[in-house]
Structure formats: structure tokens, C-alpha cells
Amino acid sequence: MPAASTPLSPPALTEPAEVDAATAASRPVIGRRAAHTSLRGVLGDSLRMFDPRHEIRQPVMFTVWVLFLFILVLTLFPRAFPDIAASYNPAYYLAISLILFLTLWFSHLGSAIAEAQGRAQADSLRQIRGGLRARRIQGDGAAVWTPSQELKLGDIVEIHAGEPVPIDGDVTQGAALVDESMMTGESQPAVRESGGDKTSVLGGTQVIQGTIRVRISATQGHSFLDRLIQLIENSGREPTPNELALSVLLASLTIALITVIGTFVYLADFTGVVRVNIATLVALFVCLIPTTIGALLPAIGISGINRVSKANVVAKSGKAVEAAGDLDVLILDKTGTITIGNRLAVQFLPAPEVPLAELLSAAMLTSSLDDTPEGKSIIRLAARRGAPAQRLEPGSYDLLPFSSERRMSGIRLKNGIEAFKGSVAAIEAYGAALPPELRTATVEASRQGMTPLVIAMNRRALGVVLLKDVVKPGIKDRIRELKTMGIRTIMCTGDNRLTARAVANEAGVDEFIAEAKPETKLEVIQREKAKGRLVAMSGDGTNDAPALARADVGLAMNSGTGAAKEAGNMVDLDSDPTKLIEIVSIGKQLLITRGALTTFSITNDVAKYFAILPAIFVTSAGVVLAGIQSFNVLGLSNPNLAVLATLLFNALVIPLLIPLALTGVRFRPRTAIDLLRRNLVVYGVGGLVSAFVGIKLLYLLLAYLSSSPVAQAAAAGVAHFLPIGGL
Amino acid sequence: MFPLASLVDVALLIALVLAIAPWFGAYLGRVYLNRPAFGDSLLTPIESWIYRLLGTSPRQTMRFKEYAFALLLTSGVLFVWMYLILTLQSGLPGNVLGIPNMSWDLAFHTTASFLTNTNFQHYNPQSSLSLWGALLSLQVALFLSAGCGLSVVAAFIRGFTRKDGTLGNFYVDLVRTMTRVLLPLSLLASVLLVLLGLPQTFTTYVTAHTLGGGAQTLYLGPVASWQAIDLLGTNGGGWYAANAAMPYANPSAASNLVETGLMLLIPLSTPFAFAEIVRRPGEGLPFVGTILAVLLVAIGLFLLFQGGPNPSLAGLHGLTQNSLGFPTFGMESRLSLSESSAFQVVSIYTNTGANNLAIGSLNPLAQGVLLFGMFTQSTPGGVGTGFGMLLVFAVIAVFVGGLMVGRTPEYLGKKVGKEQMRWSAGLLLLHPALVLVPLAIAILGGFVVFSGGIASHAYLFTSVLYEFTSESANNGSSLGSLADNTLFFNLVGGVVMLIGRFYPMIGMLAIGSIFAEQEVLPPGPGTLRTRSATFTIYLTLLLIIISALLFLPVLALGPFAQLGF
């Protein structure tokens, strides 16, 4: 790269230079790249989250935090609280403080990992942004190397092959191949040229071929790259409406349990029925409040956004991701989303008394030099049907390409043979009469949405090749999945009704709109929204912008215009419209994860009650009350160990579920009632059973450990060092 | 082993009510939809006249605040009226027994009690209530408090069907509840009860000369008509101190069946009315399922505990024996174990609070079964409000369940968002707070004095727990062992009943109005279908788990601890 001070000769737009492949290839892509999260960063963050200003944002965990400090103080300064003297047991109190600490810490770990994953994505983008500069063309025509942050709106810069685009702009002169993989993940370089609709270049992308002049259209801090970074950093921080609603429920349950356990402390004491142990009641309280879901709630939200990023989609808000789970209607473009976008040959129909081989040979002839996808597909199909390849000597033919007068294309060999393919009308106008059998076949084919092309040789119609808009592989299954999830699909196309219906039937969409005009999508969205449905669409053109803005989820293609990207609430960097379907799943997964963990939290509580209640109802004589003994189904004979095992289970469940919170629960498209039944069994019944089993196992483990001489020595040590003497 | 044959009573009862409920519920729904119905030609002119008198019309529809204001205003006026009557009743004509005016705090408690459909009685009707004192104040409240409950829940349900934020007209709802539901039904029920032998007279007492030569005062009165609305409106305050355990109020197995049925009729019909109002057939079935599941298990457990040995009675001699041969105390010998049990469990679970046995001498675990009914408040709960609470539980269940199917939860096409959760979760929270805080104050403040061993501590604790639970749930029954006609229990109890009644009602109206401001979303295969067995089971379990979660510690400290070591 030339030094900044090197004066340039007055720039002349040169021929494409050598591509500096090394610099072009090694750029990171935001989503695809494995999330790099530093262990030390996560640990540091998880410890920093003990800050009360952070804790207070999560009411459930904040109560745990307060109680942790409370028990810690009791543990360390028991003498200050003569009331607890009777039940004070230093090792027990210390163990409870420790487990409470772990509970909090595990919860922080979940959030810290999720945040780190999000941050890593922003960081890799920031790397791209740093230190970009370009030749600024001054008024006198001289070029001066200028850092991107000093470029102003309207400045003209010149970019040569191998150089990065400093900041967003529009090509005013020249054409170039631009590697946008760092922004879009698309490995194919894109053509950017002055005039037309391919003028916009993004800061951070790399010119790999050609030289262009670009007028700067964004200032530092306002470019697309900056906004991406901002979005990735901010999304998920603000709780979404649904998250807030769940928080309200969890906080209310917590407050209710504060009342329950808070009054119980005094009631139990006063009635004299049982000997109250503060640490045990704190343990019971912490076990009962929904700590599992409370601890993982922030992580679930952040990781939902991260999963969207991983799919190489930038969501402008967490709300949009949630809305994706709620969608009722998807508006899909036919071309590019449902179909590959080209009509391909699917069938040859020879005229009566014409051998298939003759038709194939003629078809080959008409298309052997036809570079269109249609032409290529005819060659492919003919070859598959057994037609030998034909080689035409250069100069032995005249190519008769498609023209608007002729409305057919073909070839005329020097030996006088001419072969054409074209629509029925064009071929008849050319003078080849169509046998009635073929005419019926073409009408029938048109009805099925196929395009019949008649192959004629020397004014004789040999047969028909049928072209069809081919539905993308796999799209049918995706649409069926959407239907199972209760999402209606509407296909929009500019094609006529016949073609549209055929594709719609084949793909299995619920509804199609043919002969759609640019404003049709907006009309459909307004119609569906008026019925109270949530609608999503994808789009890339400026004329899609109003519809993108109106849709509940508007997925803009990154290859599209700025207006479209501005209007949509998500931008797909891969410019793949089918990604809408993926986003729906991510949105649903996000909500399901929340619901599943809430259910898990609640059913866990049942088992915890069975484990702890007997431990609480130990009379001053050290006996469990008869009426309560029936709760002790787990047969936990040592009350203190029962409490510790339960509390430990409560804490350990959090890290065990962090992976689930980060990746989301497994989601397969099913009907709602199936999903409910399945998740109730897995997370409801699972929560119940796992808690019973888990607590029992932990109890056995603790019982084994506590009987070991080491543990007893440790307990004695604790008792020695904690200031209980004199009580 | 328990004689299964005696369960025929229970089966007959449930079958009877379930045969009527769908039909009656549909009618009830039409009443609140203001649709043309049977009796229009007679009742519409009367209603129009009342509306004119009240200065309202069915065309006037109210939003949340107006509806709540109308409810509170009506209740406020009724409160003042009742309080004045009770404190001035000695001067009313026909006071042949010379009943004095009520003390101010007892009058406050009694007024609050009847106004809130609790009908907790800190007084003995025969010695504290004059004939016209009872009829002019309390009997009016028996109708109006039940009417308010039904009106509010009708408005709550309407929220699911509207888009303009309105809930209906409170006065119209209340008047129609009277003219179309409570008055005709209680008239019908009164006649039936008179036929079954209940007294119906303005004579307050007769003196009987016993065989032993003594004189006995037999208190009479309009018992049949009182009992009819008392049970139909799930009020529960008896004409007699002994409530339905007094033979004049419930003389036979037949009257027992009818009276139990009366308590269940409206609560079990309301889910059907719900389906009718929201115009979704079958949408009430999950609620019927939940109610029946909890209620039948409760009756079963009650029979199990009450049929078996009662540890509280261990060591006592000379007690009568129940049909299974175990000593029993405080059970009616007129009625079979299953008849008594069905009546009692239904009475508590419908938050009626009428008794036909002495709750205080039940097996502690049977007391626990009754307490649990008041913890849920909604299986089926009192007239109107019980179903309202069940609907609140359903909203919460839909919220968590809806998340599990991956959509922002929606119920009957209405999104369940943060605002509904705030109110719904608040209502969950209120009940334990209203029970436990006064309980702690009562015990810590020394308003109850403990003595004896653990079992008697636990018994006394159960009494206080039962008292406040009953008041917060607007039930009205009690263990009968607490000296509660004191300034403390009258005042605190009165306040608990008022909050326990009106805060949930306002909450239901608020939730209804939030729903009423939303568009109705069309259902699709992706929405959680609430009309399903899965949802019913889920709702039932959630309801049981949440109620147990909140109340298990005190349940352990009371009934369970009574079992001793």
C-alpha cells in the first residue's frame, strides 16, 4: 500500500489490477465465525455482576443476593444475633452462604457468557472499522490519503483494487468487483458500478478488481457498519415486553413467598411448635422462589439475539425477534424465495410421427449456443434423455438470438438447416403449423403453469419442450413446517395466475397473489394486519420499503437498497429471503425456552418442599412432627444435609441449564397442543422427577462426604475459627 | 374399608347439577348478553322502570373506572344502610325478643361480612339479630352481594369479546341478575325447601313444652327463603347459629341434597355462561373439569380422613361412632357421613361457608382439606368471583403455557401481556398476604394466647389461620373455637374481608378492560387451544401447585402439626 505522503499522479481510471487475494480473503464474517469468548473476561464479568446496581435489575436474584449477605453476616458475626444462638451451627451456616454465593455466581455466568458472545460479534466488526483510509480527491484533482473518520459527506474518494472502502458511499465513476463477505458472508464478490441500482458500497468492504470513485454518503459513527455494531451491542439489553411480563409474574411469586416465609419465621417461633432455624428458612425461601428461570432470564434473551446474529441476520431490536415467534402470516416472493428464479426444461413432447431423437437433436441445436438458464436446461435435459452432444464448427452457422420482432431464437447452419424454439404463437407466425395433439398438450401445460416452447426445424414443428419454474429443493418441507406451526404463507409474484397457481400448488403455500404490483405487498400486509394477524415479509427494493416498515417483521436483504434496509427491522447479511423461516423458529425457541424453564422452576418446587419441610418441622426435642414425617418420601434422615442437598440442587441446576438457555430448547415444528403436551412432560414432569432424583443423589453424596474424616476435620476447623465462643 | 355405596349421594348430586348447569349456564350467558330471553314480556318493563329510576339505560356502557365506581358506590350505599340498621335495630318493629343494637365494631364486622358475601358471623343470630334487622339489612345483602359478584364476572368475561374498552353497564347487570336469576331462583328454591319441611314464618319463636316438663324456645322465622338465597348466592350466613346443622335449616337427606345442589348450581353454571358470552362452545369445559377434579378429590380426601380415626379425639371416651366404627364428634347423626361431607366440602369449596357439622372437631387433615378449598378460592369459589379467580388462574396458565408453545401467549384471541400479568399476579399475591399478615399480627400481638402442648398450640393456630383464610376468601365458616367477637378480630377481620372482596373484583374488571381494548385475533393451529384435556390438566396442576406452594408452610404448622409427634 503506498505511503500516505506519496503524491499521486492525476488519477486515471485504469484497467483492472491484480487482485490482492490475501487481503480480501481473510476477513471475519460476523455470524459464521465461532464466537470467541475469553474465559477470563466471562469470569471477570460474572464477578462484577455482584454489584448491587446490577443485581437489582433482576428482582428474583436480588432477593437471593440480599439473603446471601444476611446469612454471611450471621455466619461471621453470630454473637451479634443472640436469637439464633440455639440453632447456630457454623459449618451449616457457612455451607449455606457458600451455596447462595454459588447460586448467584452461576446465574451471572449465564448472562456473562451470553453477553460475551454478543460482544465478540461486535468486536470483530469493530476490527474491520479501525484504521480504514482512502485517497480523497481534492478540488484540484490531487488525491490525498485520508483516514475514514476525517471524510465528510460528499467527499469523493478513489479506491483501487486491493483497497478497502473507507466508509459507506455511492459509486460515481467506474465499476469494480467488491468483496462484501465481511459484511454479508456472501463469498461471491459483487459488482458495484456507477449509474443504476448497484451504486452503493459499504465501509469495510474490499475492492478486489477495478477502480472506482465513490461519493461518501455517511460520516463516521453513522455508517452501516457503525449501526451494525451498535445494534449488536444494544439489542437484548432492553427487556422485551414478553420478558417484562414474565418478570412481573416471577417477582410477584417472589413477593408472595417473602410474605409466606417472612411470616412463617415468627409464626413458627411463637406457636412454639417448632424450633426455627433462620438459615434453613432462608434456604427454603431461596429454593422456592423461581431462581432457575430468574437466573437464566437475561441469558435467554441475549442468546436469542445471538442466535439471530449467528444466522447472519442483524435484528434491530429484541422485540423483533420475539415478534418473529408470533407470526401468523409470511409473505414470500415467488422468485428467489420459493423458486430458483429460472424456468427449466422438464419434459419433451414430440409431435405425432416424430421420433423423440429427432426432437432432441433439434432442441440441442436450438440451444447449444444459448447461454440463458433456460437454454442450458434444455441441453441438460436432452442429454439426459440420450441425445448425443453436438459440436458446431465456428463459422458454420449464424446465430439468430431472441428479438422482440421474431419472438423466438434459433440457429441457421450454412448447410441450410434452420432450427427455432419459441412460443406457440411465434412458431406459427414463422410458418410451422402445430398438430392438434400438440396444441392440446401446450394448452394443458400452460394451465399447469408450465411454459411450452415449440421446437421447429425448417418450418416444421417437431415437438414441444416444457419449461417450468422450479421450486427450490426443500422449500416444500419448510412451508409444511410453517403450516404445522400455524403460520400461513402467501406467495407474491408478478407472473400470471396460471404460473402462479402451479408454483403455489407445488410449493404448498396457502395463498398466492398473481400479477402483483409493487404496492400489492403493502396492501396484503394491511389487509392481514386489519384482521389482527402478525405479518412478516422480506424485501430488497426501495418500493418494498413501505411494506417492510409496516410488517411486524420486515427482513431486508443486505443486497438491497438503503431505504429497504432502513425500513426493515432485521437485515439479512446473506440476502437469503428464505431465512425468514429460520427466524420464526428462533423466535419461537426463545419463548419456549422461557416457558419451559418457568415450568421447570415451578415443578421443581414440589420436590423441594418434600425435601425441606420435614427438616423444618423438627421440634425442640429434635423429632420431626408425625404429620410432617409423611412428607419425607425421600427418606432424608439428616435435616441439615437435606436442606443443603436441596439448596445445592437448586444452585447446580443453573449451570446445568446454561447451555439450554444459550442454545434454546430443541424446537421442532409441531402444533401448539402437541408442543404444550411435549414440553409439559419434558419440563414439567421432568422438573419434578429430576428434582426428586437430584436431591436424593446429592443427599447421599453429602452424607458420604460429611462422614469422612476430612469433612469432620473441616467442620471442626470452621467451628474453631468462626467466633462462636462465648455464646 | 370405606363403603363405596355411600358415594352414590355424591354421584347423584354431581350428576344432578351437571344436568342443569349447561342449560342454566347458557341462560345465564344470555342474561348478560342482554339477549331476548324467557320472561322478557313481564320483566323488561319492570327493568326499564328501574333503569329510569337509577337514571341509566342498557345503551349506556361503562369503561373500567366507571364500572368499578358504580360497584363501589352501590356497595358503599349498601354498607351505610346495613350498618345503620344493625346499630339501630332495637327500635325496629317486631323485635319481640328485645334484641339490643349491635356494638359498633360487631356491626362493622357483620356489615363487611354480609356485604362481601363472606357472612362470617361473630354473633349469635338468635341473641343478636332482630327479625327486621336481619331482613332489612342482611337479607338484602344476601341478594346484592351475590349479584355484585355475578355482575363483575360478567363484565370481566365481556372484556374478551369487546374491542372498545367497555365492559357493560353495572346497574343493568345488577338489576338483570336480580330479576332474571337470583329472585326467581330463590323463590323457586324457597318453595322447594318449604315443601321439604323448612319453616317459613314471621313468627320469631314458639315455646315448646318438653316431655320432661320444661319449656324450650324454638326459634323460627322465614328460614326457607333465607336459606334459599343464602345457599344459592353462596353466602353461607345461617339463620341459626348452628347454620345448616340445625334441623330446621336442613331437616333431611332430601333437603341436604337440594341445599348442596343450590350451592353448586351457579358456580358450576358460570363456566357454561362464560362459553356462551365469549361465543365459543366448549370453552367452559376446562374450568368445569378443573373444578370437578379438585372438588371430587377434596370430597374423597375429606371422606378418607373423616371416615378414619381422628387423632384429636384419641383418649376421649363415650363418643358416638361413625359408620366405619371410628369415634366421631360434631357430625350430624341425622345425615350419613357422605351426605355431611359432600355438603361441607361443597359449602367450603364454593366459599359459601355454611356448616352442617362442627369443623372444629373434625380430623385435622379434614380441616386441611377445607382450608385448601379456601386457598384456591376458585374450585369453584363463590358466585361470580370464584369463577373470576379461576379465570385469573387461566390467564396465568395461558401465559406460561403459551410461552411453551412459542407464541406471545393469547387467550381467546387476546394477547396476555405485562399489564394483565401485573394484575393477575397481584391477585395471586393478595390472598396469602391477607391471610398471613393478620395472622402474624394476631399471634405476635398477643391477641391469641397459647397454652397447653404442641397439639393444642397447633389447634389454636389452625383456628386463627382458618379465621383469616375464611375472611380473606370471603367464605365465612370458622372452627368456632376462637373468641372472635373482640375489637381486634372485628376490625381486622372486617378490613380483611373488604380488601379480600373488592381488590380482586377491581382487579378482574381491570384485566377485563385491558383485554377489552384489544383486537380479537383469529385462532390458528399455532395458538394454544385451551379447549383441550391437556390444558385442563395443566390448569388444574398449576392451580394446585401454586396454592400449595404458598400455603403449605402454614398448613404444616396448623393441621399437620395437630397430629402431634
CATH of the domain at A215: 2.70.150.10
C-alpha grid cell for residue A30? 460476523
A201 within 8 A of A178, measured Cβ to Cβ: yes
Q: Considering only the beta carbons, identify the residue of B404, B416, B561 that sits closest to A627.
A: B561
Within a domain: residue A683? yes
Which of A625, A631, A632, A685 to mutate to probe the B interface, most B CBs <10 Å?
A625
B153 neighbors B509 (Cβ within 8 angstroms): no
Q: Using CB atoms, pick whichever of A273, A609, A626 lies closest to residue B557.
A: A273
**A453 and A485 part of one domain:** no
Residue A42 distance to chain B (closest CA, Å): 29
What angle do helix axes A278-288 and A639-663 make, rounded to 10 degrees?
30
A137 falls within a domain = no
Gap between the Cα atoms of B399 and B415, Å rounded: 9
Is the CB of A273 less than 8 angstroms away from the CB of B526? Answer: no
Tracing cell 439475539 back to the chain, one arrives at A305
Residue to test with chain B: of A249, A265, A297, A665, most B Cβ within 10 A: A249
Residue A225 lies in a domain: no
- Do A113 and A246 sit in the same domain of this protein? yes
A333 is catalytic: yes
Based on the fold, state whether residues A102 and A249 are members of the same structural domain.
Answer: yes
Verify that A256 and A404 share a domain, yes or no. no
In a domain, A145, yes or no: no
The number of domains in chain A is 4
Distance separating alpha carbons of residues B403 and B423, to the nearest angstrom: 19
- What are the start-end ranges of the H helices in A272-355? 278-288, 291-310, 318-326
Q: How far apart are the C-alpha atoms of A398 and B167, rounded to whole Å?
A: 81
Pairwise CA distance, residues B94 & A266, whole Å:
50
Cβ of A248 within 8 Å of Cβ of B418? The answer is yes
- Could A272 and B454 be called an inter-chain contact, meaning their C-beta atoms sit closer than 8 Å? yes
User: Does a structural domain hold residue A697?
Assistant: yes
Are A423 and A453 in contact by the 8 Å Cβ rule? The answer is yes
Find out whether the peptide bond into B247 is cis, omega within 30 degrees of 0.
no
Q: Does A465 share its domain with A476? A: no
Residues of chain B neighbouring A273 (CB-CB closer than 8 A): 454, 457-458, 461, 557, 561
How far from the centroid of its chain's Cα atoms is residue B237's Cα?
A: 11
Are the Cβ atoms of A248 and B545 closer than 8 angstroms?
no
What average pLDDT does range A515-530 have in this prediction?
86
By Cβ distance, the residue of A246, A271, A486 closest to B443 is A271
Pick from A251, A273, A533: which is nearest to B561 by CB? A273
Q: Tell me which of A470, A492, A513 is where a domain ends.
A: A470
| Alpha helical stretches, state H, A570-685 | 579-616, 626-629, 639-663, 672-679
Give A661 to chain B, closest Cα distance, Å.
14
Instruction: Report the chain B residue with the minimal C-alpha distance to residue A604.
Output: B545
Question: Are B425 and A249 an interchain contact pair (Cβ–Cβ within 8 Å)?
Answer: yes
Rounded Cα gap, residues A565 and B394, in angstroms: 41
Report field, pTM of the whole predicted structure over 0.90: no
User: What does residue B342 show for φ and ψ, rounded to 5 degrees?
Assistant: -60, -45
Same domain flag for A109 and A244? yes
Shared domain for A163 and A300, answered yes or no, is: no
β-pairing verdict for A329-333 and A535-539: parallel
Same domain? A327 vs A211: no
User: Complex ipTM, two decimals?
Assistant: 0.92
Select from B407, B428, B431 the residue whose CB has the most chain A CBs within 10 Å, as the one to mutate to test that interface.
Answer: B407
Give B3-27 as a 3 state SS string: CHHHHHHHHHHHHHHHHHHHHHHHH
Contact between residue A29 and residue A185 where contact means Cβ atoms under 8 Å apart = yes
CB pair distance less than 8 Å for A672 and B529: yes
In a domain, A478, yes or no: yes
Asked if the Cβ–Cβ distance from B403 to A532 is below 8 Å, we say no
B52: exposed, middle or buried (C-beta count within 10 Å: 0-12, 13-18, 19+)?
exposed
Residue at which a domain ends, from A470, A495, A530:
A470
Q: Which of B443, B552, B564 sits opposite A270 (nearest CB)?
A: B443
For residue A135, tell me if it sits in a domain.
no
* CB neighbour class for B44 (10 Å; exposed up to 12, middle 13-18, buried from 19): middle
* Pair type for strands B62-63 and A553-557: unpaired
The pLDDT tens digits along chain B (565 residues) read 566 666 788 899 999 999 999 999 999 999 999 888 888 899 999 999 999 999 998 889 999 999 999 999 999 999 999 999 999 998 888 788 888 999 999 999 999 999 999 999 998 888 888 888 888 899 999 999 999 999 999 999 999 999 999 999 999 999 999 999 999 999 999 999 999 999 999 888 888 888 888 888 888 889 999 999 999 999 988 888 888 888 899 999 899 999 999 999 999 999 999 999 999 999 999 999 999 999 999 999 999 898 888 888 877 777 887 777 788 888 877 888 888 999 999 999 999 999 989 999 899 999 999 999 999 999 999 999 999 999 999 999 999 988 888 888 889 989 898 899 999 999 989 999 999 999 999 988 989 888 777 778 889 999 999 999 999 999 999 998 888 889 999 999 999 999 999 999 999 999 999 999 988 877 766 778 899 999 999 999 999 999 999 999 999 888 988 887 5
Candidates A168, A179, A226, A333; catalytic one: A333
- Quick one: DSSP state of residue A31? T
Residue-number span of the structural domain to which A173 is assigned:
1-28+152-219
User: Based on the domain organization, do A437 and A562 belong to the same domain?
Assistant: no
Residue where a domain stops, chosen among A542, A573, A604 = A573
Chain B environment of A322 (Cβ under 8 Å): 408
| A·B CB contacts under 8 A | 237
B410 is written with which cell numbers?
Answer: 393469547
| Structural domain includes residue A224 | no
β-strands A511-513, A488-492: how paired? parallel
Characterize B119-143 residue by residue with b for buried, 16 or more Cβ atoms within 10 angstroms of its Cβ, and e for exposed: bbbbbebbebbbbbbbbbbbbbbbb
Max CA pair span of chain B = 78
- Contact (CB<8Å) A246/B428: no
Cβ neighbors of A175 (< 8 A, separation 6 or more) are A191, A192, A193, A194, A210, A212
Q: Hey, what's the cell of B167?
A: 365492559
Q: What is the rounded distance in angstroms from the CA atom of residue A28 to the CA atom of residue B420? A: 45
Residues A562 and A631 in one domain: no
Q: Are residues A408 and A381 in the same domain?
A: yes
Q: Over 70: is that where the pLDDT of A400 sits?
A: yes
Same domain, A605 and A618: yes
For B420, residues 6+ apart whose C-beta sits below 8 A from its C-beta are: A245, B395, B399, B511, B514, B515
Residue of A nearest to B526 (CA): A486
Residue A31 pLDDT level (bands cut at 50, 70, 90): very low
